[in-house]
Structure 1
Amino acid sequence: MEKIKMTTPLVEMDGDEMTRILWKMIKDELLLPFIDLNTEYYDLGLEKRNATNDQITVDAAEAAKKYGVAVKCATITPNAARMEEYDLKEMWKSPNGTIRAILDGTVFRVPIIVKGIEPYVKTWKKPITVARHAYGDVYKATEIKVPGPGKCELVYTGTDGTEIRETVHEFKEAGIAQGMHNLESSVESFARSCFSYAVSQKQDLWFATKDTISKKYDHYFKDTFQEIYEKEYKEEFERLGIEYFYTLIDDAVARVVKSEGGYIWACKNYDGDVMSDLIATAFGSLAMMTSVLVSPHGYFEYEAAHGTVQRHYYKHLKGEETSTNSMATIFAWSGALRKRGELDKNEALINFADKLEEASLKTIEAGKMTKDLALITTLENPAVLSSESFIKEIRNTLEELLHAV
């Protein structure tokens, strides 16, 4: 069959370790044989970020703004051990944090549901979408080590000379301190993204923070959501018969575990980071979750929400066989290709993205899967496949689906 043409590039951000290996396998087996792939490529592997003083991450984000659609592989956020392992110039910030700060918006993460993989929480019948704010908080925080006794202050100096000064703590000994921030425009766009998504999905929206403790910072989020809901979305929610409500994060956790799913759970940046991993794992596997950053400016960035699978990468380097689940990375590609097709009115590309996802699900439902799923499946006698064999089985199913059209 003739390869599908792409009229506009999408931005391709390569990554690190085992997910980088999977990235190439997916392209070679599931994309390049069927699509005349048109991407603007950026290597966000740690070595390249280090060599460019992380400028390549900024360049990739700016390209995403230019073309509107990006797809990103998992990347390393270095710690002290990685500094030594990769001989880094400095401890570079999270690429995801940098990209999200430039694009703004909200990350929506939805579990990939497949027959034979049952949620650990028995009441869950429908997917739970986690809407994660994509700017600020601890990811843009300034931190200091306090060397000894002294006063730590939080100071704001306005351009007009206005000053606000608050004591963080009177230190009697050494310690640590952290200053976080957020922006009015970003919090408002987060709220609108969540409400708009709830309307498009016709699902209830929950929002949870800890305003009883954080009486200014978290309360600001709570008040912003409520004001925008009342002014802009209440009538539409009532017309659709869906609900918006706010609750404390600890109450939300209890509600989630007792629910049947089928709603959107909006969280601040850190809460969303943690809770989306919890939701993904409880539905089956960290590798079974889609993730897309939706910017209010019309940019979309699709990614695998999990890490770089370091342990499998070290096995791979030794020549040992791995069985790494590539579903989240495959769905990152399918999501980006579908959105590119929608924006370009390219029906062939949209159809291919649909078929790629269908083939991936059908392969698992046929009992062919990676080890993480084989350990928890309710299907009898599953075939445990290697990383590469799993992708090749998906290709076989994909070719059958494409030829059946």
Structure 2
Amino acid sequence: MKKIIHVDMDCFYAAVEMRDFPELRGKPIAVGGRSDRRGVISTCSYEARKFGVRSAMASGYALKLCPDLILVPGRMQVYKDVSSQIRAVFAKYTSLIEPLSLDEAYLDVTDSPHCHGSATLMAKAIRDDIYAATGLTASAGIAPVKFLAKIASDLNKPNGQYLIRPDQIDEFVKTLPLIKIPGVGKVTAKKLADIGLHTCSDVQAYPDNKLVERFGKFGSVLIERAKGIDNRGISPNRERKSVGVETTLAKDIHTLEQCKAVMPQLIQELGARVGRSAKKRTIHKQVVKLKFDDFKQTTIEHRSDEVSVNLFYQLLAQALERQQGRGIRLLGVAVGLASSTSNDDEVQTAAPQMNLGF
């Protein structure tokens, strides 16, 4: 049985700001863009969360919920430097580390000799070491499988940890809301609720074939998760699955021509990012994303083995068919990346083709 720890820093960006600027401590703060430029919240302090402020929320709306909210511009290089310190702590305990972002990671400590082999004691030691190195607190979840470790890390936040032992899995998942399972968002949760599925025990009682018929591959994954099964191992060299770029517009736009005026700069930046981060990877799809003035968003994608500007514009036109008179506040483009582990040697070595003539 594996021993997996999921470590998640507590309101990471905001915590770094409060550490470096003590006058912010104990106040509702948020790291994000200015409200007069339609910025978005990256993260916020627990004091701000009491007012309903959340990450990915528009800064202007956050200020309506919390008029005393202090907006702090992000300092990404500082956060990256602190993240490097945190990962150095992880490396003291195991080499099997799967970073998910700057502030969270999975660790497989199954064979680690530290703390007499106790994953619970290692999680506590890791959190203590992070605090000693950075002055920041972290929370942790310990479980035999990845998705349960991730869920557990959120149960004793902030600055706590939660253990799910192998003999506790069946009882734990029985009443677990499906929305808590990583990968089940609000839209999927509603679709599941529409057929009477709210908890893992509901899924366990539902016919497997009907779930797969309705949800495809995800249905099969959900059946496993509902039973506490997750056979995924730790992936130390986790590959990026996509590269994208998006912009939040200063003012809502409404027409195809207005969107087309924004696209060239986005596509050019996308090409630069692909060149920097995916030099030896081919693509397998292109994506256009729109977010409307009611904050609902839509994406349109199409399979493609080279980046075609014309295809982006075709996808844009298709996405606008879902506009329904709403203003557009955000526009984005992305490409999905093929795995570098493909058996096709050409896929492994060919650089992404970027036909960027306008």
TM norm structure 2: 0.28
TM norm structure 1: 0.26
